[in-house]
Amino acid sequence: MSHQVLARKWRPKNFDTLVGQENTVQALVNALDQERLHHAYLFTGTRGVGKTTLARILAKSLNCEKGISSKPCGECSSCISVDKGNFVDLIEVDAASNTKVDEMRELLENSQYAPTSGRFKVYIIDEVHMLSNSAFNAMLKTLEEPPEHIKFILATTDPKKVPVTVLSRCLQFNLKQMTIEKISNHLDMILTNEKIKSEKKALGLIAKSARGSMRDALSLTDQAIAYSGSEISENKVSEMLGVVDNNFLIDILFKISENKGGELIEIAHGMNDKNIALDSTLIDLAKLIHEISVYQVAPQSNADLQSNDEIKQLSELYSPETLQLLYQIVINGKKDIYLAPDLLTGFNTTLLRMLAFFPSLQTEKLESKLVEKRATPPNQPIEEKKSSQIEVKKEVKENLEFDGNWHNLVKNLKLGIANALAQECEFKAYQNYIFELTLDSNKSHLMQGNYVEKLEESLINHFNKKIKVKILVDEVKTTPAIKTSEEKSKLLKETESAMMKDGFVKDLIENFDAQVVPTSIEPLNNKGQ
């Protein structure tokens, strides 16, 4: 007996064995049992979710010799013929290869004749969105007023391309993508019956890679059987799919937090040597960052994460802001990786970008935590830990390089378009390479665009360190703009007073009735005067 692939061998033959489409099945079962039948059905959904299978089961239910029922007998000649694919009154058409209007007209002309052996003549038109506009127009009249012995079952992966005139004449069901759990459980049942050993985690990897398609999952399972041999193991499936081990991803995030760029590149090259799919790895890395972010907000939401010490540790090492930044970098890296000279280069660039944008303040903060959580031996004396932490704080203090005079700092910065923003900000605090500033609500429009980024860039160039700027909108008392205005006003008053004491000016006022116009007074620049 010739081998039959799992997708064909285990194709469901009744509604009870169909997995993952409970809502659609329930609606069809009720319609069949109550004999409230529509003349045209439209099944939509992605590949491999059961559109064609559902259509065949419905055709079998309509033509079972024991009567219209949601539970066809599977034993009569009609049921057996449908299962074998040779039922004369079941006409399956692939619209992708029969797009012309002449082919559709020929099909519709034959539909007028009564069924040969069945109760209904059932037309299954797969990928119906591929039909031409003329072909759609040709079938409209038949869809609207079909003969009593005709049932149309249309299937498509892209319902948006189906004309609304056709959609309005069909009973539409949207088939959902399968969940990882349902796919995994179904695969476990099939492999148990096939007497093939499998690991639960291996089936989980297959279900995840199938992306909601049961047919894809069964095809991957066939491939896994051929690759693994007697037992489907997690390691073998990982090798086959090029799936990254979660330990690699966790190690990447630890290396970024420790600012170890060289070791980060070594990890990337090691993954490439193992033929791990680097583009898919970025998706998994984004998911891991998401898990860490969720754990920070709601650690009780996932019991599995609570038991993962490394997730806990990473949630303490990274701030929520940093995680969001890294997530965005990874997502953009996934988009750009195919534009790189090769996948490894694109992957390395994404990792280096994460390292470059990781705040240096984080690195400073983490050194003491890393000493305690990863590098410090369990029996190290407490005094040594304190000493290490003191050294880190001392280093931060020595690297401040800012005396707190924001006004003078702004004067020395090369700000460009960010000058307006810097002038209107009031300095609040500077700690761990973070400038905390306040901006009046009337000036909040200055935070639009890339002004904040340009201000950060200027500060980074000035200090030669990874500076961050945090701006709060609140009432301000003193800003460089206010201070400059006050200094200018004071200078003008001093200049006016000095002018009034000048003998020449006095003579002009006394003898010629001259007046001093304050707005016309301009202090001279000391440079070059």
The residues, ordered by sequence, that sit 6+ positions from 151 with a Cβ below 8 Å of its Cβ are 37, 39, 40, 41, 59, 62, 120, 121, 122, 123
Q: At 299, is the pLDDT very low, low, confident or very high (cuts 50, 70, 90)?
A: confident
CA-CA distances (angstroms) from residue 196 to 11, 190, 224, 228?
A: 18, 9, 11, 11
**347 lies in some domain:** yes
| Cα–Cα nearest to 70, from 92, 37, 48 | 37
**390 lies in some domain:** no
**Domain check: are 438 and 303 in the same one?**
no
The parent domain of residue 104 ranges over 6-174
**93 lies in some domain:** yes
**Domain check: are 137 and 57 in the same one?**
yes
**140 lies in some domain:** yes
Question: Of residues 37 and 464, which shows the higher confidence score?
Answer: 37
pLDDT tens per residue across span 326-373 = 999 999 999 889 889 999 999 999 999 888 877 544 444 444 455 454
**Domain check: are 144 and 67 in the same one?**
yes
**366 lies in some domain:** no
Q: For the chain, how long is the longest CA-to-CA vector? A: 128
**Domain check: are 323 and 200 in the same one?**
no
Percent of the chain scoring above 90 in pLDDT: 15
HSE-up of residue 209 (Cα within 13 Å, Cβ side): 25
pLDDT at 57: 92
pLDDT at 384 over 60: no
Please state the rounded mean pLDDT for residues 68-74: 88
pLDDT at 329: 92
Q: At 521, is the pLDDT very low, low, confident or very high (cuts 50, 70, 90)?
A: low
Q: Which of 241, 256, 287 is the last residue of a domain?
A: 241
Residue 422's domain is classified under what CATH number?
3.30.300.150
pLDDT at 28: 93
**Domain check: are 136 and 17 in the same one?**
yes
Q: Which of 226, 241, 256 is the last residue of a domain?
A: 241
Residue 352's domain is classified under what CATH number?
1.20.272.10
pLDDT tens per residue across span 83-101 = 888 898 898 888 877 767 7
**Domain check: are 52 and 165 in the same one?**
yes
Average pLDDT, the chain: 81
**375 lies in some domain:** no
Encoded tokens for 280? 């898919």
Q: At 29, is the pLDDT very low, low, confident or very high (cuts 50, 70, 90)?
A: very high
Residues 443, 482: Cα–Cα separation, whole Å: 13
Please state the rounded mean pLDDT for residues 243-250: 77
pLDDT at 99: 66
Lowest pLDDT segment from 47-56, 272-281, 383-392, 492-501: 383-392
Please state the rounded mean pLDDT for residues 24-51: 91
Collapse the DSSP code of 527 into the 3-class scheme (helix H, G, I; strand E, B; otherwise coil) and give the result: coil
**Domain check: are 211 and 254 in the same one?**
no
pLDDT tens per residue across span 433-442 = 888 899 888 8
Lowest pLDDT segment from 177-191, 310-324, 337-351: 310-324
**Domain check: are 75 and 167 in the same one?**
yes
**363 lies in some domain:** no
Question: Of residues 364 and 58, which shows the higher confidence score?
Answer: 58
**Domain check: are 334 and 351 in the same one?**
yes
Q: Which of 174, 199, 229 is the last residue of a domain?
A: 174
Q: At what angle do helices 200-210 and 234-241 cross, to 10 degrees?
A: 20
Lowest pLDDT segment from 1-5, 94-98, 102-106, 393-397: 393-397
Burial per residue of 340-357, b for 16 or more beta-carbon CB atoms within 10 angstroms, e otherwise: eeebbebbbebbebbbee
Residues 119, 64: Cα–Cα separation, whole Å: 8
HSE-up of residue 347 (Cα within 13 Å, Cβ side): 24
pLDDT at 459: 85
**370 lies in some domain:** no
Encoded tokens for 466? 């990874």
278 neighbors 347 (Cβ within 8 angstroms): yes
290 neighbors 311 (Cβ within 8 angstroms): no
Percent of the chain scoring above 70 in pLDDT: 85
Number of H helices, E strands in the chain: 25, 10
pLDDT at 395 over 60: no
Residue 232's domain is classified under what CATH number?
1.10.8.60
Residue 41's domain is classified under what CATH number?
3.40.50.300
HSE-up of residue 276 (Cα within 13 Å, Cβ side): 24
**Domain check: are 421 and 353 in the same one?**
no
Q: Which residues pair with 172 in a beta bridge?
A: 42
pLDDT at 386: 41
Domain count, the chain: 5
**Domain check: are 437 and 507 in the same one?**
no
**Domain check: are 252 and 231 in the same one?**
no
